[in-house]
Amino acid sequence: MFALPDLPYAYNSLEPYIDEETMRIHHDKHHGAYVDNLNKLNTQNLGLEELLKSTDQKIINNLGGHLNHSFFWEVMSPNPNAPSGKVLEAINSTFESLEKFKEAFSEKAMTIFGSGWAFLIMSPDKKLSLKRHSFQNSPLMHGNIPILGIDVWEHAYYLKYQNRRADYIQAWWNVVNWTKVGENFIKGL
């Protein structure tokens, strides 16, 4: 059985960048529904490794929804530190600078048509790159390790930002948990 993880901070603690009501609905209702559906669909009680290979679209949607959201809560923080260490070195060498990385990542997130995610991933050859994923497709289903990701489904921002996805993305940079991003990078090496 999969379980909905608690948010690692209070629902209102990402204010003013992400509002409390959005966080409550997003975590409790949206993520909660992915977990409930996944448990209902997983009638054979398969483990994560087997489920990641599933070609059943309903499993892909709900497993991806669970994995992506569990990841997403962790890469945000009410008290983020500035990027540093090995992940910053890798970002600088891959994207030239932190500013250029943020621009390229934001552009990926802006140009997803419809619902999906933008990810910074590490591929099996340990290289960093940016990916757009439609719906709840998870990097783990493609053998890649997610390092940072942003949810650009409208449910992630519509209450506060309505159609202004660019404003949401810009605000979101203020709550990126670079400590966790650094840990994700080190774990992937």
Rounded to the nearest whole angstrom, what is the least distance from the CB of residue 151 to Mn ion in the complex? 4
Nearer to Mn ion, 87 or 118 (CB): 118
Of the candidate spans 34-42, 78-86, 149-157, 164-172, the one that interacts with Mn ion by CB under 5 A turns out to be: 149-157
Q: How many residues bind Mn ion (CB under 5 A)?
A: 2
Indicate whether 119 belongs to the interface with Mn ion (CB under 5 A).
no
What is the C-alpha separation between 78 and 87, in angstroms, rounded? 20
Indicate whether 157 belongs to the interface with Mn ion (CB under 5 A).
no
Say if residues 65 and 115 touch (Cβ distance below 8 Å). no
Spatial neighbors of 176 by CB under 8 A, at least 6 apart, are 75, 76, 77, 80, 148
Rounded to the nearest whole angstrom, what is the least distance from the CB of residue 43 to Mn ion in the complex? 25
Rounded to the nearest whole angstrom, what is the least distance from the CB of residue 7 to Mn ion in the complex? 13
Single residue of 71, 73, 101, 153 touching Mn ion by CB under 5 A: 153
Q: Which residue is nearest to Mn ion (CB)?
A: 151
Query: What tokens were used for 11?
Result: 């629902």
Indicate whether 151 belongs to the interface with Mn ion (CB under 5 A).
yes
Of the candidate spans 12-20, 33-41, 105-113, 152-160, the one that interacts with Mn ion by CB under 5 A turns out to be: 152-160
What is the C-alpha separation between 41 and 58, in angstroms, rounded? 8
What is the C-alpha separation between 10 and 94, in angstroms, rounded? 34
Q: Packing angle between helix 85-95 and helix 178-188, nearest 10 degrees?
A: 80
Where along the sequence are the contacts to Mn ion (CB under 5 A)?
151, 153
